[in-house]
Amino acid sequence: MHTVKLQIEDSIYKNIMFLLTNLKLKGLEIKEESVINLTTREKVKDLFKRKQANIFKDIEDPVKWQKEQRDEW
């Protein structure tokens, strides 16, 4: 199985989809994905929503750890 992605202008989208849906070929599956223009801020928020970050989970005493960090400076 191979995957092909096409970037299609809005003006010809309906024509291309008509052609693809009428091919009636065995093994052809059409999945539509819309391109959403997100700002960088929205992209970062989306990235962090999907990830689990437990950076500070190993810190037993946060106040002590913070004091040690300050003492290093």
pLDDT band at 70 (very low <50, low <70, confident <90, very high): very high
The contacts of residue 27 (CB under 8 Å, 6+ apart) are 1
Q: Model pTM greater than 0.85?
A: no
| Cα 2 from chain centroid (whole Å) | 21
| Cα 5 from chain centroid (whole Å) | 16
CA pair distance 5, 30, nearest whole angstrom: 10
For residue 12, pLDDT over 80 is answered with yes
Tens of pLDDT, residue by residue over 49-67, are 877 777 778 888 989 999 9
Per-residue model confidence (pLDDT) at position 10: 84
Tens of pLDDT, residue by residue over 26-49, are 888 888 877 677 788 888 888 888
